[in-house]
Amino acid sequence: VADDDMGDINHQLERRISRLEGVLRLEKTITESGGKIFATNGEKADFNTTLQKCKEAGGSIASPRNPGENDAIQHFVKTFNTYAYLGVKESLIPGKFQFLDGTELGYTNWYLNEPSGKGEE
């Protein structure tokens, strides 16, 4: 394939992806922060089902690492008027949390007296 043809193919793919992302934004099922795409299907599910669905989609459950990513997750909470699971878990030390892979949280934005595990963290 010639370089010109490859450039045309790349341009066509970029346009198609851009259009598809635009439709998903209109449907309020994706948002973006820092080059990461955050997505939802808008359905309610338990934590394990959520983990599995994220994995099937080629991603992982949202784990906010900065205010922008936290805002992206909040977008879905507000849009769908529900809570969102995060990719964090309580560590062996009560009251301390970590990412699902065991690494320490470097960013948190808990409400006062949270997290309590009651969905209002």
What is the per-residue pLDDT for 23? 86
Structure tokens given for 37: 């795409």
pLDDT(119) > 70: no
Task: Name the pLDDT band for 27 (thresholds 50, 70, 90).
Answer: confident
Beta pairing, strands 36-39 & 30-33 = antiparallel
Name the nearest CA neighbour of 77 among 86, 65, 66. Answer: 86
pTM (two decimals): 0.80
Q: Which CATH number fits domain 1-99: 3.40.50.720, 3.90.1150.180, 3.10.100.10, 3.40.190.150?
A: 3.10.100.10
Least confident range from 12-21, 37-46, 110-119: namely: 110-119
Task: Name the pLDDT band for 120 (thresholds 50, 70, 90).
Answer: low
Domain boundaries, the chain: 1-99
Give the highest mean pLDDT range of 22-31, 78-87, 112-121.
78-87
Interval 26-34 mean pLDDT: 89
Q: How many other C-beta atoms lie within 10 A of the C-beta of residue 38? A: 19
- Digit-coded pLDDT (tens) for 53-91: 999 999 999 999 999 999 999 999 999 998 899 999 988
